[in-house]
Every structure is written in C-alpha cells, then in structure tokens.
Amino acid sequence: MPIERNFPSPAPEPLPVLGVLISGRGSNLRAIIAAIADGRLQARIGVVIANRADAAGLAHAETAGVPALVVDHKAFATRADFEEALVARLVEARAEVVCLAGFMRILSPVFLERFGGPVLNVHPSLLPSFVGVDAQRQAWEHGVKVAGVTVHLVTPELDAGPIVAQATVPVLDDDTPDTLAARILVEEHRIYPEAVGLVAAGGWRIEGRRFVRGR
Ligand code: GAR
C-alpha cells in the first residue's frame, strides 16, 4: 500500500516581486513604496540595491522596512563582475521585474541577459529626445515648449527601449532647468508606479519597437 505523505507546498508568491536599483535621492523609489502602501501598485519590493553607500534613497527603504543593500560598482574590476553581483542579489530576492529609479550606471547586455526579466527605467524627457544625463537641462536649453517623462523597457542601447508610458508638462518662459525638472518629477512619481504595475501584471507584448497591451 502506498504511503501517503503530505508535503507542504511552497507558498505561492502572491504579488510580483520588484528589485529597485538606485544611485541617489530615491524619490521615485519613495513613490513606488507609497503606491504599494496605498494599494495603487500590486507588487512587493524584494530588494533595493544602491551602487553607492551614500545614496540618500536607502533611507526610504529603511523607513518602509524594505530590504536594502549596497553593491558598490567601484569594488569590482569590471562592469561585468559588478553586473553579475547585482543579478545575484536580485535572484536571491526573487525579483521578477527590475525598476531603475535614478540608477546612474549603464547596464550592459550581461545584466539584461543574466537577469532575463523586464527591466524598466524612468527617464526625465520625452524620448527619443534628450537621452543621457541632465535631460531636463538639455530640453530647457533646446527651447522645447513641451517636455516630460518616459518610462521604457531597458535594452542594450541607452534610453532607446520600447516605451511603456509617457507624460508631458509645459515649459514656461520663466522656467529654469530646476523648475522644469521639478514639474517633470511630479509626473515621474505619478506614471512610474502605474507603468511598473502594468509591466509586473503581465499581459503585454512587444511588436517591433512598440509596447502593446494584451497577449
Ligand atoms: C529622476 O529624475 C530620474 O528620471 C532621473 O534621475 C532622477 C532620479 O531621481 N533618471 C535619469 O536621468 C536616468 N537617465 P530620484 O533618485 O529622486 O528618483
């Protein structure tokens, strides 16, 4: 007679798990934490990783009781070694979606291939305009009348992956790069958690360069 044994099955992960990478202030991390706390974003942050020990955003993780750690890029001989270490920490935390939130290191194909899941970035311009650093100042100096924010999937090419969400803001005559950046940041905090939720929930596909909802 067969022996019946009941093994407790591993608890299913009820919510998609996020890994959030930061380098500095962490206001987008704080917006994600707030959206989760008030039920707008159905996800859980498995780990926050900063590449600098002095990243002020680490305090937001601590306040929220979210696991946080530092993986200092300067401690690694090569970019690939640094990225392998990042992926190892993300896998340990069971992260399924990575959110770059002011993470100021370029990620190479090593990271994207090893991690394998979707990696999102929030960029403070209406891509494809004004890639790279200081995008708000670039837009201000160019004299555009409409600026904004883009959330996109990360691909090996800088700031060039499929666009998940965008929002616009006006550029006013008396703006400075700082006042424009502040207006854009309000929209970052609004659309980034929304876009993270959309991607984490699944049910989307990429057609050519286009992010399309529906299977
Ligand atoms: C944000 O404005 C984000 O869009 C930008 O850095 C800032 C980080 O702020 N990211 C980039 O420019 C990426 N190319 P935060 O640390 O307060 O979230």
Q: Is residue 104 part of a domain?
A: yes
Q: Which residues in 77-97 are b (16+ Cβ under 10 Å) and which e?
A: eeeeebbebbbebbeebebbb
pLDDT for residue 4: 60
> Which tens digits make up the pLDDT trace of 143-163?
999 999 999 999 999 999 999
User: Which mutation among 49, 134, 185, 186 tests ligand 1's pocket best, with the greatest number of atoms within 8 A of CB?
Assistant: 185
CA 102 to ligand 1 center in whole angstroms: 4
Give the residue whose CA is nearest to atom 17 of ligand 1.
27
pLDDT for residue 14: 86
pLDDT for residue 7: 63
Confidence of residue 75 (pLDDT cuts 50, 70, 90): very high
Confidence of residue 6 (pLDDT cuts 50, 70, 90): low
Known catalytic membership, residue 73: no
Q: Is the model more confident about 46 or about 215?
A: 46
- Please provide the average confidence, as pLDDT, over all residues in the chain: 95
pLDDT for residue 215: 80
Q: CA nearest 22: which of 67, 64, 45, 56?
A: 56
Distance between CA atoms of residues 60 and 35, nearest Å: 13
Q: Is residue 33 part of a domain?
A: yes
Query: Does residue 51 register a pLDDT over 60?
Result: yes
> Which tens digits make up the pLDDT trace of 80-100?
999 999 999 999 999 999 999
Q: Is residue 181 part of a domain?
A: yes
Kindly give the number of the ligand 1 atom that is closest to the alpha carbon of 27. 17
Q: Is residue 30 part of a domain?
A: yes
The average pLDDT across 160-172 equals 98
Pocket of ligand 1 (CB under 6 A): 22, 24-28, 57, 101-102, 122-124, 135, 185, 188
Domain that holds residue 149: 17-208
Distance between CA atoms of residues 164 and 151, nearest Å: 6
pTM: 0.94
pLDDT for residue 12: 60
Among residues 60, 123, 152, 189, the one annotated as catalytic is 123
Kindly give the number of the ligand 1 atom that is closest to the alpha carbon of 28. 18
Q: Is residue 213 part of a domain?
A: no
Min mean pLDDT across 7-16, 43-52, 113-122, 127-136 is at 7-16
pLDDT for residue 206: 97
What is the domain count for the chain? 1
Which residues have a Cβ under 8 Å from the Cβ of 37 and sit 6 or more positions away? 64
**Which long-range contacts (C-beta less than 8 Å, at least 24 apart) are formed by 169-174?**
170/145, 170/146, 171/139, 171/140, 171/144, 171/145, 171/146, 171/147
Min mean pLDDT across 7-21, 37-51, 144-158 is at 7-21
Q: Is residue 137 part of a domain?
A: yes
Q: Is residue 1 part of a domain?
A: no
Kindly give the number of the ligand 1 atom that is closest to the alpha carbon of 184. 2
CATH of the domain at 65: 3.40.50.170
Q: Is residue 199 part of a domain?
A: yes
